[in-house]
A and B are shown apart, each in its own frame.
Chain A
Amino acid sequence: MSTAFIALQDVDEARPLVEAAEKDNDGLQLEHHPAMVRMVRDKEIVIRRETVEEITGRDWEPQDIHLVLISVGGNIDEGDDYFRVYWNN
Protein backbone atom coordinates (compact mmCIF):
# COMPACT_ATOMS: atom_id res chain seq x y z
CA MET A 1 0.00 0.00 0.00
CA SER A 2 1.30 3.46 -0.90
CA THR A 3 -0.04 6.21 1.26
CA ALA A 4 -0.45 9.66 -0.23
CA PHE A 5 -0.68 12.62 2.11
CA ILE A 6 -1.23 16.36 2.14
CA ALA A 7 -0.28 18.28 5.29
CA LEU A 8 -1.85 21.72 5.74
CA GLN A 9 -1.48 24.37 8.39
CA ASP A 10 -4.29 24.19 10.89
CA VAL A 11 -5.67 27.64 10.05
CA ASP A 12 -8.94 29.13 8.90
CA GLU A 13 -7.95 29.32 5.23
CA ALA A 14 -7.20 25.62 5.12
CA ARG A 15 -10.52 24.42 6.57
CA PRO A 16 -12.55 24.58 3.34
CA LEU A 17 -9.76 22.64 1.60
CA VAL A 18 -9.95 19.90 4.20
CA GLU A 19 -13.74 19.85 3.95
CA ALA A 20 -13.56 19.64 0.16
CA ALA A 21 -11.02 16.84 0.32
CA GLU A 22 -13.24 14.89 2.70
CA LYS A 23 -16.13 15.20 0.25
CA ASP A 24 -14.17 14.16 -2.83
CA ASN A 25 -11.95 11.40 -1.44
CA ASP A 26 -13.65 8.34 0.02
CA GLY A 27 -11.84 6.93 3.00
CA LEU A 28 -9.74 10.05 3.63
CA GLN A 29 -8.22 10.01 7.12
CA LEU A 30 -7.47 13.18 9.07
CA GLU A 31 -4.65 13.32 11.59
CA HIS A 32 -4.54 16.35 13.85
CA HIS A 33 -1.10 17.40 15.04
CA PRO A 34 -0.16 20.65 16.81
CA ALA A 35 -0.61 23.46 14.25
CA MET A 36 -1.04 20.95 11.42
CA VAL A 37 -3.65 18.71 9.89
CA ARG A 38 -2.45 15.78 7.82
CA MET A 39 -4.79 14.19 5.27
CA VAL A 40 -3.92 10.61 4.43
CA ARG A 41 -5.34 8.21 1.88
CA ASP A 42 -4.28 5.18 -0.13
CA LYS A 43 -2.77 6.14 -3.51
CA GLU A 44 -4.37 9.53 -4.21
CA ILE A 45 -5.90 12.70 -2.80
CA VAL A 46 -7.51 15.37 -4.93
CA ILE A 47 -8.79 18.83 -3.98
CA ARG A 48 -11.26 20.21 -6.53
CA ARG A 49 -11.78 23.88 -7.24
CA GLU A 50 -15.53 23.45 -7.68
CA THR A 51 -15.99 21.78 -4.30
CA VAL A 52 -13.93 24.41 -2.50
CA GLU A 53 -15.88 27.22 -4.20
CA GLU A 54 -19.20 25.61 -3.28
CA ILE A 55 -18.14 25.50 0.35
CA THR A 56 -16.79 29.04 0.58
CA GLY A 57 -18.98 30.81 -1.99
CA ARG A 58 -15.82 32.50 -3.28
CA ASP A 59 -13.37 31.99 -6.13
CA TRP A 60 -10.47 29.69 -5.37
CA GLU A 61 -7.37 29.01 -7.45
CA PRO A 62 -5.71 25.64 -6.89
CA GLN A 63 -2.37 27.48 -6.63
CA ASP A 64 -3.72 29.27 -3.54
CA ILE A 65 -2.96 26.03 -1.71
CA HIS A 66 0.64 27.26 -1.48
CA LEU A 67 -0.39 29.67 1.27
CA VAL A 68 -1.29 26.86 3.67
CA LEU A 69 0.58 23.86 2.33
CA ILE A 70 3.16 22.23 4.63
CA SER A 71 4.08 19.07 2.79
CA VAL A 72 2.93 16.34 0.45
CA GLY A 73 3.69 12.67 0.02
CA GLY A 74 3.41 11.65 -3.62
CA ASN A 75 3.70 13.03 -7.10
CA ILE A 76 1.98 16.31 -7.82
CA ASP A 77 -0.45 17.12 -10.59
CA GLU A 78 -1.93 20.57 -10.68
CA GLY A 79 -4.39 21.99 -13.19
CA ASP A 80 -6.83 24.88 -13.44
CA ASP A 81 -9.51 22.96 -11.59
CA TYR A 82 -7.75 20.63 -9.19
CA PHE A 83 -4.71 19.89 -7.07
CA ARG A 84 -3.82 16.21 -6.89
CA VAL A 85 -1.20 14.14 -5.04
CA TYR A 86 -0.77 10.52 -6.16
CA TRP A 87 1.47 7.48 -6.29
CA ASN A 88 1.90 5.47 -9.49
CA ASN A 89 2.10 2.10 -7.76
Chain B
Amino acid sequence: MARMTLKERYHHMTRLGWQPTYQPMEKVYPQATYEGIKVRNWDDWEDPFRMTMEAYWKYQGEKERKLYAIMDSFAQNNGHLNLSDARYVNALKLFLQGVTPLEYQAHRGFARQARQFPGEGASVACHMQSLDELRHTQTQIHTLSHYNKYFDGFHDFTRWHDRVWYLSVPKSFFDDASTAGPFEFIVSVGFSFEFVLTNLLFVPFMSGAAYNGDMSTVTFGFSAQSDESRHMTLGLQAVKFMLEQHEDNVPIVQQWIDKWLWRGYRVLSLVAAMQDYMLPESPMSWKEAWEIYFEENGGALFQDLERYGIRMPDYAPICAAEKDHLSHQVWGILYNHTAAAAFHTWVPDERKMDWLSAKYPDTFDKYYRPRLEYWRELEQKGERYYSQTLPLICQTCQIPMGFTEVANGDPMQVAYRSTEYNGDRYHFCSDPCQAIFEREPEKFVHAWLPPQQIFQGNCGGASLEDVLKWYNIQPGDNLDYAGSPDEQRWLEWKGLAAAREAAE
Protein backbone atom coordinates (compact mmCIF):
# COMPACT_ATOMS: atom_id res chain seq x y z
CA MET B 1 0.00 0.00 0.00
CA ALA B 2 1.30 3.42 -0.92
CA ARG B 3 2.25 5.70 1.94
CA MET B 4 -0.18 8.56 2.61
CA THR B 5 1.02 12.06 1.93
CA LEU B 6 1.33 14.60 4.70
CA LYS B 7 -1.89 16.29 3.56
CA GLU B 8 -3.81 12.99 3.56
CA ARG B 9 -2.48 12.03 6.97
CA TYR B 10 -3.47 15.43 8.31
CA HIS B 11 -7.04 15.03 7.06
CA HIS B 12 -7.47 11.48 8.35
CA MET B 13 -6.00 12.29 11.74
CA THR B 14 -7.75 15.59 12.45
CA ARG B 15 -11.22 15.35 10.94
CA LEU B 16 -12.59 13.19 13.71
CA GLY B 17 -15.75 15.04 14.65
CA TRP B 18 -19.39 14.23 14.04
CA GLN B 19 -22.71 16.01 13.74
CA PRO B 20 -24.54 15.86 17.08
CA THR B 21 -28.14 14.58 16.93
CA TYR B 22 -29.29 14.48 20.57
CA GLN B 23 -28.74 18.20 21.05
CA PRO B 24 -28.69 21.15 18.64
CA MET B 25 -25.27 22.54 17.66
CA GLU B 26 -25.82 25.84 19.49
CA LYS B 27 -26.28 23.99 22.76
CA VAL B 28 -23.18 21.86 22.22
CA TYR B 29 -21.12 24.94 21.29
CA PRO B 30 -22.80 27.73 23.26
CA GLN B 31 -19.99 30.29 22.81
CA ALA B 32 -19.52 29.96 19.06
CA THR B 33 -21.73 32.82 17.90
CA TYR B 34 -22.22 35.48 20.58
CA GLU B 35 -19.17 37.50 19.60
CA GLY B 36 -20.66 38.10 16.17
CA ILE B 37 -18.09 36.12 14.17
CA LYS B 38 -19.77 34.43 11.21
CA VAL B 39 -18.41 31.11 9.98
CA ARG B 40 -19.74 29.57 6.78
CA ASN B 41 -17.69 26.40 6.73
CA TRP B 42 -15.36 25.12 9.45
CA ASP B 43 -13.84 22.62 6.99
CA ASP B 44 -12.01 25.52 5.34
CA TRP B 45 -9.74 25.52 8.39
CA GLU B 46 -6.37 24.01 7.66
CA ASP B 47 -3.26 23.91 9.81
CA PRO B 48 -0.33 24.81 7.52
CA PHE B 49 1.98 22.64 9.63
CA ARG B 50 -0.40 19.72 9.14
CA MET B 51 0.61 18.39 12.51
CA THR B 52 -1.12 15.22 13.66
CA MET B 53 -1.12 13.84 17.20
CA GLU B 54 1.13 10.94 16.25
CA ALA B 55 3.82 13.27 14.91
CA TYR B 56 3.21 15.67 17.78
CA TRP B 57 4.11 13.10 20.48
CA LYS B 58 7.18 12.03 18.57
CA TYR B 59 8.62 15.53 18.22
CA GLN B 60 7.64 16.74 21.68
CA GLY B 61 9.14 13.63 23.30
CA GLU B 62 12.41 14.25 21.48
CA LYS B 63 12.49 17.91 22.53
CA GLU B 64 11.88 16.97 26.17
CA ARG B 65 14.70 14.42 26.20
CA LYS B 66 17.15 16.99 24.92
CA LEU B 67 16.01 19.64 27.35
CA TYR B 68 16.17 17.44 30.44
CA ALA B 69 19.65 16.16 29.52
CA ILE B 70 20.87 19.75 29.47
CA MET B 71 19.07 20.67 32.69
CA ASP B 72 20.71 17.73 34.47
CA SER B 73 24.08 18.64 33.14
CA PHE B 74 23.62 22.29 34.13
CA ALA B 75 22.79 21.25 37.71
CA GLN B 76 25.60 18.70 37.93
CA ASN B 77 28.14 21.23 36.77
CA ASN B 78 26.95 24.11 38.98
CA GLY B 79 26.06 26.04 35.87
CA HIS B 80 24.93 29.09 37.83
CA LEU B 81 28.58 29.77 38.69
CA ASN B 82 29.33 30.39 35.02
CA LEU B 83 26.90 33.25 34.63
CA SER B 84 28.25 36.61 33.53
CA ASP B 85 27.02 38.16 36.78
CA ALA B 86 24.45 37.47 39.50
CA ARG B 87 22.46 40.54 38.45
CA TYR B 88 21.41 38.51 35.43
CA VAL B 89 19.39 36.18 37.67
CA ASN B 90 16.87 38.97 38.25
CA ALA B 91 15.70 38.59 34.66
CA LEU B 92 14.92 34.95 35.47
CA LYS B 93 13.02 35.96 38.60
CA LEU B 94 10.87 38.33 36.61
CA PHE B 95 10.37 35.62 34.00
CA LEU B 96 9.26 32.99 36.51
CA GLN B 97 7.00 35.43 38.37
CA GLY B 98 5.51 37.14 35.35
CA VAL B 99 5.65 34.80 32.36
CA THR B 100 5.49 31.22 33.61
CA PRO B 101 2.04 31.69 35.23
CA LEU B 102 0.85 33.07 31.89
CA GLU B 103 1.95 29.85 30.22
CA TYR B 104 -0.32 28.04 32.63
CA GLN B 105 -3.18 30.44 31.90
CA ALA B 106 -2.60 29.83 28.20
CA HIS B 107 -2.77 26.08 28.82
CA ARG B 108 -6.19 26.53 30.41
CA GLY B 109 -7.36 29.02 27.83
CA PHE B 110 -6.54 26.87 24.82
CA ALA B 111 -8.11 23.82 26.44
CA ARG B 112 -11.28 25.89 26.78
CA GLN B 113 -11.20 27.09 23.18
CA ALA B 114 -10.53 23.56 21.95
CA ARG B 115 -13.85 22.65 23.55
CA GLN B 116 -15.69 25.70 22.25
CA PHE B 117 -14.70 25.78 18.57
CA PRO B 118 -17.10 23.70 16.48
CA GLY B 119 -14.40 23.08 13.81
CA GLU B 120 -12.23 20.00 14.24
CA GLY B 121 -9.09 21.46 12.69
CA ALA B 122 -9.20 24.45 15.02
CA SER B 123 -10.01 22.23 17.97
CA VAL B 124 -7.08 19.86 17.38
CA ALA B 125 -4.66 22.76 16.97
CA CYS B 126 -5.93 24.33 20.23
CA HIS B 127 -5.55 21.01 22.05
CA MET B 128 -1.93 20.75 20.96
CA GLN B 129 -1.25 24.30 22.00
CA SER B 130 -2.86 23.64 25.37
CA LEU B 131 -0.49 20.71 25.91
CA ASP B 132 2.47 22.79 24.76
CA GLU B 133 1.65 25.53 27.23
CA LEU B 134 1.51 23.08 30.11
CA ARG B 135 4.86 21.71 28.97
CA HIS B 136 6.30 25.23 28.99
CA THR B 137 5.02 25.83 32.52
CA GLN B 138 6.61 22.60 33.73
CA THR B 139 9.94 22.97 31.96
CA GLN B 140 10.31 26.57 33.14
CA ILE B 141 9.59 25.64 36.75
CA HIS B 142 11.94 22.65 36.56
CA THR B 143 14.74 24.64 34.97
CA LEU B 144 14.46 27.61 37.30
CA SER B 145 14.12 25.44 40.43
CA HIS B 146 17.89 25.07 40.20
CA TYR B 147 18.21 28.83 40.78
CA ASN B 148 15.82 28.68 43.70
CA LYS B 149 18.48 26.70 45.58
CA TYR B 150 21.01 29.52 45.31
CA PHE B 151 19.16 32.83 44.87
CA ASP B 152 16.35 34.79 46.49
CA GLY B 153 13.25 35.84 44.60
CA PHE B 154 12.05 32.47 43.31
CA HIS B 155 10.46 30.77 46.30
CA ASP B 156 6.82 31.89 46.08
CA PHE B 157 6.24 32.96 42.49
CA THR B 158 2.63 31.78 42.20
CA ARG B 159 1.51 33.79 45.23
CA TRP B 160 3.42 36.81 43.94
CA HIS B 161 1.78 36.50 40.55
CA ASP B 162 -1.62 36.72 42.21
CA ARG B 163 -0.81 39.51 44.64
CA VAL B 164 2.21 41.69 43.89
CA TRP B 165 1.70 45.05 42.17
CA TYR B 166 3.99 44.77 39.11
CA LEU B 167 2.76 41.25 38.38
CA SER B 168 -0.79 42.51 38.10
CA VAL B 169 0.37 43.86 34.73
CA PRO B 170 0.81 40.43 33.06
CA LYS B 171 -1.89 38.83 35.22
CA SER B 172 -4.57 41.36 34.31
CA PHE B 173 -3.62 41.02 30.65
CA PHE B 174 -4.41 37.33 30.75
CA ASP B 175 -7.46 37.72 32.97
CA ASP B 176 -8.81 40.07 30.31
CA ALA B 177 -8.12 37.51 27.55
CA SER B 178 -9.48 34.56 29.53
CA THR B 179 -12.78 36.30 30.16
CA ALA B 180 -13.28 37.03 26.45
CA GLY B 181 -15.07 34.71 24.03
CA PRO B 182 -13.19 32.03 22.06
CA PHE B 183 -12.60 34.14 18.95
CA GLU B 184 -11.34 37.15 20.86
CA PHE B 185 -9.15 34.88 22.97
CA ILE B 186 -7.45 33.47 19.91
CA VAL B 187 -6.89 36.94 18.45
CA SER B 188 -5.49 38.16 21.77
CA VAL B 189 -3.17 35.28 22.62
CA GLY B 190 -2.80 33.36 19.35
CA PHE B 191 -2.43 36.25 16.98
CA SER B 192 -1.43 39.45 18.78
CA PHE B 193 0.76 37.93 21.45
CA GLU B 194 2.11 34.81 19.74
CA PHE B 195 2.39 35.92 16.16
CA VAL B 196 3.29 39.55 16.51
CA LEU B 197 4.92 39.94 19.91
CA THR B 198 6.29 36.64 21.23
CA ASN B 199 9.50 36.90 19.20
CA LEU B 200 10.29 40.00 21.22
CA LEU B 201 10.04 38.05 24.43
CA PHE B 202 11.73 34.80 23.58
CA VAL B 203 14.21 35.36 20.79
CA PRO B 204 16.40 38.23 22.02
CA PHE B 205 15.94 37.21 25.65
CA MET B 206 17.05 33.62 25.07
CA SER B 207 19.87 34.69 22.83
CA GLY B 208 20.72 37.01 25.73
CA ALA B 209 20.68 34.06 28.12
CA ALA B 210 23.25 32.34 25.88
CA TYR B 211 25.33 35.51 25.94
CA ASN B 212 25.27 35.50 29.74
CA GLY B 213 26.25 31.87 30.20
CA ASP B 214 22.82 30.51 31.08
CA MET B 215 22.70 27.33 29.07
CA SER B 216 19.64 25.90 30.80
CA THR B 217 17.45 28.93 30.12
CA VAL B 218 18.56 29.05 26.50
CA THR B 219 17.43 25.50 26.14
CA PHE B 220 14.00 25.79 27.73
CA GLY B 221 13.51 29.03 25.88
CA PHE B 222 14.29 27.67 22.48
CA SER B 223 12.49 24.42 23.22
CA ALA B 224 9.39 26.47 24.03
CA GLN B 225 9.97 28.73 21.08
CA SER B 226 9.96 25.82 18.66
CA ASP B 227 6.37 25.25 19.79
CA GLU B 228 5.74 28.96 19.41
CA SER B 229 6.28 28.80 15.68
CA ARG B 230 3.32 26.41 15.60
CA HIS B 231 1.34 28.73 17.87
CA MET B 232 2.11 31.74 15.71
CA THR B 233 0.86 29.83 12.73
CA LEU B 234 -2.34 28.93 14.55
CA GLY B 235 -2.90 32.58 15.47
CA LEU B 236 -2.36 33.79 11.93
CA GLN B 237 -4.46 30.99 10.52
CA ALA B 238 -7.29 31.84 12.93
CA VAL B 239 -7.28 35.49 11.88
CA LYS B 240 -7.15 34.68 8.15
CA PHE B 241 -9.92 32.13 8.61
CA MET B 242 -12.23 34.68 10.29
CA LEU B 243 -11.47 37.27 7.62
CA GLU B 244 -12.08 34.84 4.78
CA GLN B 245 -15.31 33.43 6.20
CA HIS B 246 -17.35 36.64 6.17
CA GLU B 247 -16.74 40.33 5.49
CA ASP B 248 -18.76 41.27 8.59
CA ASN B 249 -15.96 39.76 10.64
CA VAL B 250 -13.41 42.33 9.46
CA PRO B 251 -14.29 45.27 11.75
CA ILE B 252 -14.64 42.95 14.75
CA VAL B 253 -11.23 41.41 14.14
CA GLN B 254 -9.68 44.84 13.53
CA GLN B 255 -10.99 46.09 16.86
CA TRP B 256 -9.54 43.07 18.65
CA ILE B 257 -6.17 43.45 16.93
CA ASP B 258 -6.09 47.13 17.94
CA LYS B 259 -6.90 46.28 21.53
CA TRP B 260 -4.61 43.30 21.95
CA LEU B 261 -1.51 44.56 20.22
CA TRP B 262 -1.55 47.53 22.56
CA ARG B 263 -2.24 45.39 25.64
CA GLY B 264 0.61 43.06 24.66
CA TYR B 265 2.93 45.95 23.89
CA ARG B 266 2.38 47.43 27.35
CA VAL B 267 3.06 44.05 29.03
CA LEU B 268 6.25 43.74 27.02
CA SER B 269 7.51 47.04 28.38
CA LEU B 270 8.63 44.92 31.36
CA VAL B 271 10.64 42.83 28.89
CA ALA B 272 12.15 46.00 27.44
CA ALA B 273 13.53 46.93 30.86
CA MET B 274 14.65 43.36 31.49
CA GLN B 275 16.48 43.20 28.18
CA ASP B 276 18.23 46.56 28.32
CA TYR B 277 19.00 46.70 32.04
CA MET B 278 18.93 43.26 33.66
CA LEU B 279 21.09 41.42 31.13
CA PRO B 280 24.70 42.29 32.01
CA GLU B 281 25.73 41.44 28.46
CA SER B 282 23.14 42.32 25.84
CA PRO B 283 23.33 40.99 22.31
CA MET B 284 20.63 43.37 21.13
CA SER B 285 18.78 46.37 22.52
CA TRP B 286 15.02 46.51 22.98
CA LYS B 287 14.86 49.11 20.22
CA GLU B 288 16.72 46.87 17.77
CA ALA B 289 14.49 43.93 18.62
CA TRP B 290 11.41 46.12 18.17
CA GLU B 291 12.63 47.25 14.76
CA ILE B 292 13.25 43.70 13.53
CA TYR B 293 10.34 41.85 15.06
CA PHE B 294 7.63 44.47 15.10
CA GLU B 295 8.42 47.06 12.48
CA GLU B 296 9.95 44.78 9.84
CA ASN B 297 8.15 41.53 10.50
CA GLY B 298 4.87 43.02 11.73
CA GLY B 299 4.99 45.48 8.83
CA ALA B 300 5.17 42.62 6.33
CA LEU B 301 2.33 40.87 8.13
CA PHE B 302 0.01 43.87 7.95
CA GLN B 303 0.81 44.29 4.26
CA ASP B 304 -0.30 40.69 3.83
CA LEU B 305 -3.52 41.37 5.70
CA GLU B 306 -4.34 44.52 3.71
CA ARG B 307 -6.19 42.46 1.11
CA TYR B 308 -8.75 41.60 3.78
CA GLY B 309 -9.22 45.22 4.77
CA ILE B 310 -7.07 44.98 7.92
CA ARG B 311 -4.69 47.85 8.70
CA MET B 312 -1.87 48.50 11.12
CA PRO B 313 -3.30 49.93 14.39
CA ASP B 314 -3.58 53.74 14.44
CA TYR B 315 -1.29 54.04 17.44
CA ALA B 316 1.74 52.47 15.70
CA PRO B 317 3.41 55.95 15.61
CA ILE B 318 3.22 56.06 19.44
CA CYS B 319 5.13 52.77 19.65
CA ALA B 320 7.64 54.03 17.10
CA ALA B 321 8.24 57.18 19.15
CA GLU B 322 8.43 55.25 22.43
CA LYS B 323 11.03 52.71 21.33
CA ASP B 324 13.80 55.15 22.28
CA HIS B 325 12.33 55.65 25.76
CA LEU B 326 10.39 52.60 26.88
CA SER B 327 13.03 50.49 28.64
CA HIS B 328 14.52 53.51 30.44
CA GLN B 329 11.17 54.70 31.74
CA VAL B 330 10.14 51.26 32.99
CA TRP B 331 13.51 50.68 34.63
CA GLY B 332 12.97 53.98 36.43
CA ILE B 333 9.60 52.79 37.72
CA LEU B 334 11.04 49.47 38.89
CA TYR B 335 14.04 51.17 40.50
CA ASN B 336 11.77 53.48 42.52
CA HIS B 337 9.52 50.71 43.77
CA THR B 338 12.04 47.92 44.44
CA ALA B 339 11.26 47.96 48.15
CA ALA B 340 8.03 46.12 47.31
CA ALA B 341 9.36 43.83 44.57
CA ALA B 342 10.70 40.28 44.61
CA PHE B 343 13.78 41.13 42.55
CA HIS B 344 16.62 43.62 42.71
CA THR B 345 17.33 46.74 40.71
CA TRP B 346 20.46 48.88 40.49
CA VAL B 347 22.05 51.78 38.73
CA PRO B 348 23.96 50.35 35.77
CA ASP B 349 27.75 50.71 35.83
CA GLU B 350 29.64 53.02 33.47
CA ARG B 351 30.27 50.29 30.91
CA LYS B 352 26.57 49.48 30.71
CA MET B 353 25.66 53.17 30.53
CA ASP B 354 28.06 53.58 27.62
CA TRP B 355 26.36 50.64 25.88
CA LEU B 356 22.93 52.23 26.45
CA SER B 357 24.23 55.52 25.16
CA ALA B 358 25.52 53.84 21.98
CA LYS B 359 22.23 52.00 21.45
CA TYR B 360 20.07 55.04 22.24
CA PRO B 361 22.11 57.97 20.92
CA ASP B 362 19.14 60.35 20.72
CA THR B 363 17.73 59.83 24.19
CA PHE B 364 19.92 58.10 26.76
CA ASP B 365 22.51 60.78 27.47
CA LYS B 366 19.96 63.55 27.12
CA TYR B 367 17.17 62.24 29.36
CA TYR B 368 18.08 59.10 31.25
CA ARG B 369 21.78 59.09 32.07
CA PRO B 370 21.57 62.24 34.23
CA ARG B 371 18.77 60.69 36.24
CA LEU B 372 20.72 57.46 36.80
CA GLU B 373 23.80 59.47 37.80
CA TYR B 374 21.72 61.42 40.28
CA TRP B 375 20.41 58.20 41.79
CA ARG B 376 23.96 56.89 42.01
CA GLU B 377 25.01 60.05 43.82
CA LEU B 378 22.24 59.56 46.36
CA GLU B 379 23.32 55.94 46.84
CA GLN B 380 26.90 57.00 47.46
CA LYS B 381 25.65 59.33 50.17
CA GLY B 382 23.81 56.38 51.72
CA GLU B 383 20.42 57.72 50.61
CA ARG B 384 19.35 55.17 48.04
CA TYR B 385 15.95 56.41 46.87
CA TYR B 386 12.90 54.21 47.40
CA SER B 387 9.47 55.63 46.72
CA GLN B 388 7.49 55.96 49.95
CA THR B 389 4.08 56.36 48.34
CA LEU B 390 1.82 54.15 46.31
CA PRO B 391 1.73 55.10 42.65
CA LEU B 392 -1.29 56.02 40.57
CA ILE B 393 -1.66 53.22 38.05
CA CYS B 394 -3.42 52.86 34.72
CA GLN B 395 -6.89 51.31 34.93
CA THR B 396 -6.23 49.27 31.77
CA CYS B 397 -2.59 48.11 31.70
CA GLN B 398 -2.02 48.57 35.47
CA ILE B 399 1.44 50.07 34.99
CA PRO B 400 2.25 53.03 37.28
CA MET B 401 2.08 56.41 35.52
CA GLY B 402 5.58 56.83 34.17
CA PHE B 403 5.25 56.88 30.41
CA THR B 404 5.64 60.36 28.98
CA GLU B 405 4.24 62.45 26.13
CA VAL B 406 6.94 61.16 23.77
CA ALA B 407 4.62 60.94 20.79
CA ASN B 408 3.41 64.50 21.41
CA GLY B 409 6.93 65.87 21.47
CA ASP B 410 7.31 66.31 25.23
CA PRO B 411 9.35 63.42 26.67
CA MET B 412 9.67 65.14 30.06
CA GLN B 413 5.93 65.33 30.78
CA VAL B 414 4.31 62.26 32.30
CA ALA B 415 1.22 61.32 30.29
CA TYR B 416 -2.07 61.35 32.20
CA ARG B 417 -5.50 60.63 30.77
CA SER B 418 -8.77 60.18 32.58
CA THR B 419 -12.43 59.64 31.92
CA GLU B 420 -15.61 59.56 33.96
CA TYR B 421 -17.90 56.58 34.01
CA ASN B 422 -20.99 56.22 36.21
CA GLY B 423 -19.85 59.05 38.43
CA ASP B 424 -16.34 57.69 39.06
CA ARG B 425 -13.11 58.92 37.54
CA TYR B 426 -10.70 56.42 35.92
CA HIS B 427 -7.06 57.10 35.07
CA PHE B 428 -4.91 55.95 32.13
CA CYS B 429 -1.31 56.06 30.99
CA SER B 430 -2.08 56.71 27.33
CA ASP B 431 -4.73 57.33 24.69
CA PRO B 432 -4.91 53.67 23.59
CA CYS B 433 -5.39 52.44 27.20
CA GLN B 434 -8.21 54.99 27.59
CA ALA B 435 -9.81 53.94 24.29
CA ILE B 436 -9.71 50.28 25.34
CA PHE B 437 -11.47 51.14 28.59
CA GLU B 438 -14.10 53.25 26.85
CA ARG B 439 -15.05 50.39 24.54
CA GLU B 440 -15.68 48.00 27.43
CA PRO B 441 -16.02 50.07 30.62
CA GLU B 442 -18.07 47.45 32.42
CA LYS B 443 -15.19 45.02 32.09
CA PHE B 444 -12.42 47.34 33.23
CA VAL B 445 -14.19 48.98 36.19
CA HIS B 446 -13.74 45.59 37.88
CA ALA B 447 -9.95 45.64 37.55
CA TRP B 448 -8.13 44.61 40.75
CA LEU B 449 -5.76 47.55 41.16
CA PRO B 450 -3.02 46.91 43.74
CA PRO B 451 -2.69 50.44 45.21
CA GLN B 452 -6.47 50.78 45.60
CA GLN B 453 -6.64 47.34 47.17
CA ILE B 454 -3.92 48.27 49.66
CA PHE B 455 -5.76 51.49 50.57
CA GLN B 456 -8.97 49.52 51.02
CA GLY B 457 -7.23 47.29 53.54
CA ASN B 458 -7.32 44.11 51.47
CA CYS B 459 -3.58 43.44 51.43
CA GLY B 460 -2.56 42.71 54.98
CA GLY B 461 -2.40 46.25 56.32
CA ALA B 462 -1.38 49.81 55.62
CA SER B 463 2.40 49.72 56.15
CA LEU B 464 5.00 48.43 53.71
CA GLU B 465 5.94 45.79 56.26
CA ASP B 466 2.35 44.53 56.46
CA VAL B 467 2.00 44.37 52.69
CA LEU B 468 5.33 42.58 52.24
CA LYS B 469 4.20 40.03 54.78
CA TRP B 470 0.97 39.51 52.85
CA TYR B 471 2.99 39.19 49.64
CA ASN B 472 5.39 36.78 51.40
CA ILE B 473 8.30 38.83 50.11
CA GLN B 474 11.05 38.06 52.60
CA PRO B 475 14.12 40.13 53.51
CA GLY B 476 16.63 39.56 50.72
CA ASP B 477 14.01 39.20 48.00
CA ASN B 478 13.64 42.96 47.61
CA LEU B 479 15.70 46.21 47.58
CA ASP B 480 18.83 47.09 45.64
CA TYR B 481 21.22 44.45 44.36
CA ALA B 482 24.04 46.22 46.21
CA GLY B 483 24.11 44.80 49.71
CA SER B 484 21.73 41.95 48.94
CA PRO B 485 22.32 38.36 50.08
CA ASP B 486 22.44 37.43 46.38
CA GLU B 487 25.38 39.76 45.90
CA GLN B 488 27.12 38.57 49.05
CA ARG B 489 26.86 34.91 48.04
CA TRP B 490 27.98 35.61 44.51
CA LEU B 491 31.10 37.41 45.70
CA GLU B 492 31.91 34.53 48.04
CA TRP B 493 31.44 31.86 45.36
CA LYS B 494 33.58 33.76 42.92
CA GLY B 495 36.28 34.42 45.52
CA LEU B 496 35.71 38.16 45.29
CA ALA B 497 34.44 38.88 48.78
CA ALA B 498 37.85 39.15 50.46
CA ALA B 499 39.25 41.35 47.70
CA ARG B 500 36.33 43.68 48.04
CA GLU B 501 36.64 43.94 51.81
CA ALA B 502 40.33 44.72 51.45
CA ALA B 503 39.52 47.44 48.93
CA GLU B 504 36.98 48.97 51.26
Contact = CB atoms under 8 A, between A and B. Distances in A.
A2 B303 contact: yes
B337 to A, nearest CB: 31
A89 B229 contact: no
B296 interface: yes
A34 B210 contact: yes
Interface in B279-311: 283-284, 296-297, 299-300, 303-304, 306-307
Interface string A1-21: 011110101000000000000
Given A76-B233, A77-B48, A89-B304, A36 B207 contact: yes
A2 to B, nearest CB: 4
Contacts of B226: 66-70
Nearest to A31: B292
B303 A87 contact: yes
Interface residues of A, number: 31
A33 B225 contact: no
A2 B304 contact: yes
A7 B59 contact: no
B304 A88 contact: yes
B55 A69 contact: no
B63 interface: yes
A59 interface: no
B433 interface: no
B218 interface: yes
Interface string A29-53: 0000111100000000000000000
Contacts of B50: 78
A3 B297 contact: yes
B49 interface: yes
Nearest to B8: A80
Contacts of B229: 66, 69-72, 76
Contact of B297 (A35, A69, A73): A73
Given A3-B296, A33-B284, A72 B232 contact: yes
Contacts of A5: 297
Which of B59, B225, B230, B300 has the most CB atoms of chain A within a 10 A radius of its CB? B300
Contacts of B304: 2, 75, 87-89
A89 B303 contact: yes
Nearest to A74: B300
Nearest to A86: B304
Given A2-B300, A34-B283, A70 B6 contact: no
A35 B222 CA distance: 9
A18 to B, nearest CB: 16
Contacts of B59: 63-64, 66-67
Nearest to B218: A35
Contact of A34 (B208, B225, B296, B299): B208
Interface in B394-421: none
A86 to B, nearest CB: 10
A81 to B, nearest CB: 9
Contacts of A77: 48
B241 interface: no
A76 B211 contact: no
B449 to A, nearest CB: 35
A29 B276 CA distance: 26
27 contacts: A3-B296, A4-B300, A33-B283, A33-B284, A34-B211, A34-B283, A35-B207, A36-B207, A63-B6, A64-B59, A66-B229, A67-B59, A67-B62, A67-B63, A68-B226, A70-B203, A70-B225, A71-B202, A72-B229, A72-B233, A73-B300, A75-B236, A76-B233, A78-B6, A80-B5, A89-B300, A89-B303
Given A33-B283, A36-B206, A70-B203, 12 more contacts: A33-B284, A36-B207, A63-B49, A63-B51, A64-B59, A66-B230, A71-B228, A73-B296, A79-B7, A87-B300, A88-B307, A89-B306
Interface of B: 5-7, 48-51, 55, 59, 62-63, 66, 199, 202-203, 206-211, 218, 222, 225-226, 228-230, 232-233, 236, 283-284, 296-297, 299-300, 303-304, 306-307
